[in-house]
Structure 1
């Protein structure tokens, strides 16, 4: 604290350091038969896994190859680099001399290896609970509570109860005798589940039918557009955007997905469409422009998703065959990687299907388009929601302006 070190994960670092130092009372940190007689938490420590082989930052090259094609490979490397940065920051000490300020390695910190530090980092990352105690937001490791598996929709809620000075878990419904008690880790895409908890959800669909799984897409302006390319780039910079990466899900209501659509509309915009766009909104929140522009945006997204699918080693059908073969245990890294990578492919397939189903609608007359909207897009799936959000908006705007 005195050195005001800039950690990548500041909210975890102090809990990690307490965990590491309190475990020092044993010889050989990997032998979790750890008899830490002098620690109040010795029984809790005995429940912690000695290795975290399910966490992707500890996966072998073979295991990482199962994720080929996904941006999560880069996220894993970034997480490892962030842990290394915090490790190096924690190991450094500034010494003030008569002539200069010198940076040296803190000798006392050398007793913690990077592997041990990484283990503690992921223990805290995957098990901590965010709490408010005495009006202060903090994080805590909670014995027994951290054993609860994830399930949605949530069946329990938890908090720190100031009146009894304790962490409490409350059932939101009836839990039968002998039934498993679950916790909800929140509405998350499988990127976050796999990276932070070491598992992926086979069917990550929420109760409302939405699926938060995402695929990261890199959008690029076309230099061949000449001056229009530079005008669009300036518009992006004026909007505070310097890279057009967007995480797209099947849900058009998600802010990230809407941003991706905005980028696609901008990229395919003609000079006339661009002139109208930049007068209405920032680059990351452009609403539909016209039927013609929306067709080109959908075609562009379809092309991007087709390319993304080509980056994966297997198809969805091959993934399903492997899963059906039961060659690997359900909770093996192989199957968790399969659940994850298949989820990305399903998002890509959705955008292909969206384009194929919606683009023909725009060739209809306005009256026919409105009728078809009511007849064929009145359901509650993701494509229908897109139609209701975007197509209805365009029809309304065209009729209103005409």
Structure 2
């Protein structure tokens, strides 16, 4: 891949090389010193993967455009990767990049049932289960709308659901997102740059040039010869890191608990409530991060006030021209959601099948092989048990106090 990129005009590859590192595995190593802010690497626009490039392909583009409604960005990129991988000739540069991608990932959707059960009771467990179901549903729709309509382009034996999951994880873990000056965004995969690992010790250090379309990597800190080069993904909690990237950071300061609120489409008054959720910046399935500094985000009340509204409550919203999110709809609505949340949080707290003390013992005894999926899941649960317990207890106490206030 290095020789191909060099021929394509990538800058800086002579100063870098791929290497194996003890903890992170494969990454990028420096061959000279770099000062913070110095340009390390530039990937030219003509080798970047993007939606625009996929649509511009003479074979793939028409098949993608035939889908109505249009496919999501991640589905387009996932299909693009599988399409290139399935071609026996042509696409030499892109095929070189695909061949350098990992053959498997350690994201939580690839955990065995036993491995996933290690983190039962955590938000990672719940969201992974939901994500697995969503992927199955999306794949069936994608197969019907696109893949089956163009069997000459998409041989089904190379576009199975397992292939689709692999391609999705490639997009989730290796793509980069940039906001453009006009407010739109672009997601791209950059050969070689996607080999860089994450560290919270470096500053934001990748940039997209709107005029040239090139992607550049800058030194996020000073580097000595032989150091691993890192980029910064952002302040991401371990549950998201493990779900999308397949690793955890011990002692991650950004850890949180993701509370998932959902409403079935067949629930009463669903369509009216969905419009209200959208107007409040929410959805029928909304994930809200709880932290020790903000154990009761306002979005919890915004969501539940709408979800628990009856016909008269919805009529009141229309009459009063309020969105029912920042203001109380009625005393009865407020008491109902407060009691519901107290019961729900109590149930969540009871969901941990193992105590923190026992989990610490298992980790110390080497029950889970270091670096494996179960080990990562155990560390995720180890971090979340005390955090989640404190968050939930604070929430439960707060709701109990509010409940008493309303009853008085």
Which of structures 1 and 2 has the larger relative contact order (alpha carbons within 8 angstroms, sep 6+)? Answer: 2
Task: Note closer, same or farther for the CA distance 1:87–1:276 as it changes in structure 2 (3 Å cut).
Answer: closer
Q: Is the 8 A contact 2:256 2:384 kept in 1?
A: no
Partner in structure 1 of residue 8 of structure 2: none
Partner in structure 1 of residue 324 of structure 2: 283
2:259 to 215, 236, 245: 215
Q: Which runs of 5+ in 2 are unaligned?
A: 1-60
In 2: Cα distance, 1:255 partner to 1:354 partner: 6
In 1: Cα distance, 2:91 partner to 2:142 partner: 28
Task: Note closer, same or farther for the CA distance 1:265–1:14 as it changes in structure 2 (3 Å cut).
Answer: closer
Partner in structure 1 of residue 362 of structure 2: 322
Partner in structure 2 of residue 77 of structure 1: 133
SS in 2 for 1:284: coil
| 1:193-246 Cα deviation digits (max 9, x unpaired) | 33322234444424xxxx4441225699xxxxxxxxx9x999957845898765
In 1: Cα distance, 2:293 partner to 2:117 partner: 33
| 1:12-40 Cα deviation digits (max 9, x unpaired) | 344334433433466xxxxxxxxx99712
1:331-342 to 2 correspondences below 5 Å? 331-342=371-382
2:388 to 347, 355, 378: 347
Q: How far 1:312 moved relative to its partner?
A: 3.2
The answer to whether the aligner puts 1:47 opposite 2:100 as a matched pair is yes
In 1: Cα distance, 2:325 partner to 2:363 partner: 39
In 2: Cα distance, 1:13 partner to 1:360 partner: 46
TM-score after normalising by structure 2: 0.61
In 1: Cα distance, 2:403 partner to 2:164 partner: 56
In 1: Cα distance, 2:142 partner to 2:295 partner: 31
In 2: Cα distance, 1:267 partner to 1:40 partner: 51
1:165-244 to 2 correspondences below 5 Å? 166-206=214-254, 211-217=255-261, 239-240=276-277
Task: Note closer, same or farther for the CA distance 1:7–1:153 as it changes in structure 2 (3 Å cut).
Answer: farther
Partner in structure 2 of residue 142 of structure 1: 190
The answer to whether the aligner puts 1:109 opposite 2:155 as a matched pair is yes
In 2: Cα distance, 1:162 partner to 1:347 partner: 42
Q: Is the 8 A contact 1:328 1:334 kept in 2?
A: yes
Partner in structure 1 of residue 110 of structure 2: 58
The answer to whether the aligner puts 1:122 opposite 2:156 as a matched pair is no
In 2: Cα distance, 1:107 partner to 1:42 partner: 16
- C-alpha RMSD of the superposition: 5.0
Q: How far 1:127 moved relative to its partner?
A: 0.9
In 1: Cα distance, 2:81 partner to 2:115 partner: 29
Q: Which runs of 5+ in 1 are unaligned?
A: 27-35, 95-104, 221-229, 365-402
| 1:108-127 Cα deviation digits (max 9, x unpaired) | 53352403343223212321
Larger Rg: 1
Q: Is the 8 A contact 1:247 1:256 kept in 2?
A: no
Task: Note closer, same or farther for the CA distance 1:173–1:64 as it changes in structure 2 (3 Å cut).
Answer: closer
SS in 1 for 2:345: helix
Q: Is the 8 A contact 1:295 1:359 kept in 2?
A: no
The answer to whether the aligner puts 1:259 opposite 2:321 as a matched pair is no
TM-score after normalising by structure 1: 0.62
Partner in structure 2 of residue 399 of structure 1: none
